Amino acid sequence: MNLLVKGRQEGREIVTVTPQSAGWNYVGFAAYRLGHNEHVDFDTGARECCIVVLRGVVSVRAEDTLWAEIGERYSVFDDASPYSVYVPHSHAVSIVAHGDAEIAVCSAPGHGDLAARLIEPASAKRSVRGQGSNTRYVCDILPQTAPADHLLVVEVITPGGHSSSYPPHKHDTDNIPDESSLEETYYHRINPSQGFAFQRVYTDDRSLDVAMAVENHDVVMVPKGYHPVVAPHGYDCYYLNVMAGPKRSWHFKNDPAHDWLIPR
């Protein structure tokens, strides 16, 4: 099974994953690089979206609401949370760049009556997870405590020489509160950009067991199974996670073989 979607290193469209291309039901993801005055226009249709300003400054219009010149990061590796915009289903969207910019469009089925809204950096909770060489830096952009129909969005920075999504965990079974069923994409950025990271996706019975070398702008799709990430020495790894499933709740199960790694 091919779970790696290679990102384009040039051009406007970096990478696109749809439920149809992934062979699943919920998560969609796209990333774009834009020059000054370049734009992306779409209709959300039957889906909700979270637009994340990865870097640069853009203006976002959803129907008659405009958020002008939002964004303040030069890089996803800046010590700052992003600006984002939540847009419900059945909305026309236009995104215009003011200078060089990179944006992500995260999507899932939408059906509620939520309003479009700006998600400011101050509301995106930042935290440190793990310890030692398992330390990583997390920013919750659209957590389950914030209004949405299905979408969950979070970004993580893993320093070089560290692991994350570790100990290996999975969320592919509807067994709340022990575990929830969520599809997931990882959009990877590497610093310096010529570097790489490793990600493995595997199930208990190893009917799925794929190890991937991930480069800058690549997407890893996680339909099921455990999915740890390792950043080699000298190369920091950023990823933007998009999760969605039948229930908007994140509960995960650690691989029992590696659960001993968690301090008690």
In a domain, 264, yes or no: no
In a domain, 128, yes or no: yes
Q: 79-120 pLDDT, tens per residue?
A: 999 999 999 999 999 999 999 999 999 999 999 899 999 999
Radius of gyration of the chain (CA): 17
In a domain, 55, yes or no: yes
In a domain, 18, yes or no: yes
In a domain, 122, yes or no: yes
Please choose, from the candidates 156, 129, 151, the residue with its C-alpha nearest in 3D space to the C-alpha of residue 140. 156
Residue-level pLDDT at 264: 76
The residue segments making up the domain with residue 193 are 4-259
In a domain, 209, yes or no: yes
Residue-level pLDDT at 87: 98
Residue-level pLDDT at 70: 98
In a domain, 196, yes or no: yes
What is this structure's pTM? Answer: 0.97
Judged by DSSP in three states, 68 sits in strand
**What is the tally of structural domains in the chain?**
1
> DSSP secondary-structure letter at 124?
S
CATH classification at residue 12: 2.60.120.10
Residue-level pLDDT at 211: 98
Please choose, from the candidates 170, 175, 173, the residue with its C-alpha nearest in 3D space to the C-alpha of residue 203. 170
Instruction: For the chain, give the number of residues.
Output: 264
Which stretches in the chain have pLDDT values below 70? none
